[in-house]
């Protein structure tokens, strides 16, 4: 028995692969293109583990995907692979459409072709689990109810629009062809191995380097924060017991403003790695907001709790402390991923935004 994981060298995908192999003897075929955010260092602990089989390839390459599936005959496909950074989607939306829409279409067709040829228990037990985001639902007002699985889609960025399109494809392949699919829509993840363009690792890296901590607009945009290991546990439950064709929202029950997050990170760094020139919060710098910045996301995760008994194990306070401690203990990992290309990206994105 084996599962195929796409994007398993990225942030959430690599945490899922590590978590899966720590709790199961079932092998993982890990398909990843290794773009800027895919990093095999995340999986260094599996270097000598025969249960982890890495395949370097593109999910848009149908012949490659078909051959990989035919060779390993997975009982499930867990689809993480995606371009996922809103700012990058604003600068270059084409790659988001290619990977998130065309890539998901290619995987669905490959999965359908494979599943159609299965028989008996193998056919009945096959699953295609699509990992998506709460951003497909758009933006909430301060007093609006959190997103539920019945919330209409209203994506506002090229990234969220491409993920919404992929969600619709997954739904259609179930209703039209009967493909046994499951979809999860998660809130903002944080934890180990997150590429340092995202808010929390960027704040940690900049603070330790005594650089400005850029906060968009007034810093009061609200997100629901989910510790990545809790997310992985939820996906395992959905894969094992989720109802076919259903969507499950996965959230952390932790609504925080971006400014609250930055101040929390600064306070933990003051405690765990105090600076020599004063508190890290002195580095907070307000910069021009990004175009179309959604004001608030919040997840109603009662369905997954009611049907599958899942709730996050970590509070935000315990999860963020573990996260900051991990980055402090893994500075070599951070240094290795902060390449010249990444520095060029930071300059391009934040250099355009003067302090305000």
Q: Which residues are catalytic?
A: 134-135, 159
3 state DSSP class of 257: strand
Contacts for 167-176: CB closer than 8 Å, 24+ residues apart: 167/130, 167/132, 167/136, 167/247, 169/101, 169/104, 169/105, 169/108, 170/104, 170/108, 170/128, 170/130, 171/245, 173/108, 173/112, 173/128, 174/244, 174/245, 175/245
Q: Give the C-alpha distances (Å, rounded to integers) separating 243 from 75, 109, 172, 187.
A: 16, 21, 16, 21
Beta bridge pairs of residue 55 = 31
Indicate the SS3 state at residue 126: coil
Cα-Cα-Cα-Cα torsion 60, 84, 210, 282, nearest 10 degrees, comes to 170
User: Burial of 153 by CB count in 10 Å (0-12 exposed, 13-18 middle, 19+ buried)?
Assistant: middle
Contacts of 44-48 with CB under 8 Å at 24 or more apart are 45/18, 46/17, 46/18, 46/21
* CA dihedral of 62, 131, 346, 263, whole degrees rounded to 10: -170
User: Which of these, 241, 352, 337, lies nearest to 41 by C-alpha position?
Assistant: 337
Asked if residue 96 lies in contact with residue 89, where contact means CB atoms within 8 angstroms, the answer is yes
Beta strands in the chain (DSSP E): 2-6, 27-32, 52-56, 76-79, 127-133, 181-186, 188-190, 213-216, 222-227, 247-250, 255-257, 284-287
Look at the chain and count its residues. 356
- Pairing assessment for the beta strands 181-186 and 247-250 based on DSSP bridges: parallel
């Amino acid at each position: 028995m084996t599962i195929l994981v796409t994007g398993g060298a990225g942030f959430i995908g690599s945490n899922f692969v590590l978590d899966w192999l720590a709790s199961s003897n079932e092998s993982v075929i890990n398909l990843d293109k290794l773009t800027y955010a895919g990093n095999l260092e995340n999986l260094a602990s599996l270097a000598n583990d025969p249960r982890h089989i890495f395949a370097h390839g593109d999910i848009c390459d149908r012949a490659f995907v078909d051959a990989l599936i035919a060779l390993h005959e997975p009982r499930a496909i867990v689809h993480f692979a995606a371009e996922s950074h809103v700012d990058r989607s604003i600068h270059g939306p084409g790659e988001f459409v290619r990977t998130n829409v065309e890539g998901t279409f290619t995987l669905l067709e490959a999965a359908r072709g494979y599943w159609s040829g299965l028989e008996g228990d193998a056919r009945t037990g096959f699953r295609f689990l699509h990992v998506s985001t709460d951003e497909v639902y758009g933006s909430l007002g301060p007093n609006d109810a959190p997103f539920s699985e019945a919330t209409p889609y209203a994506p506002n960025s090229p990234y969220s629009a491409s993920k919404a399109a992929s969600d619709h494809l997954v739904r259609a392949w179930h209703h039209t062809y009967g493909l046994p699919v499951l979809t999860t829509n998660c809130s903002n993840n944080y934890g180990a191995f997150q590429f340092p363009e995202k808010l929390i690792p960027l704040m940690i890296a900049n603070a330790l380097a005594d650089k400005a901590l850029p906060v968009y607009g007034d810093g009061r945009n609200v997100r629901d924060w989910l510790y990545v290991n809790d997310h992985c546990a939820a996906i395992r439950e959905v894969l094992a017991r989720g109802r076919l064709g259903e969507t499950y929202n996965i959230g952390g029950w932790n609504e925080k403003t971006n400014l609250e997050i930055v101040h929390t990170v600064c306070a933990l760094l003051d405690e765990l790695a105090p600076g020599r020139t004063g508190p890290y919060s002195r580095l907070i710098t307000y910069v021009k907001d990004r175009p179309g910045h959604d004001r608030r996301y919040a997840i109603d995760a009662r369905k997954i709790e009611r049907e599958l008994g899942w709730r996050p194990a970590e509070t935000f306070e315990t999860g963020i402390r573990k996260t900051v401690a991990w980055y402090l203990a893994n500075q070599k990992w951070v240094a290795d991923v902060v390449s010249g290309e990444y520095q060029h990206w930071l300059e391009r994105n934040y250099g355009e935004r003067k302090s305000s």
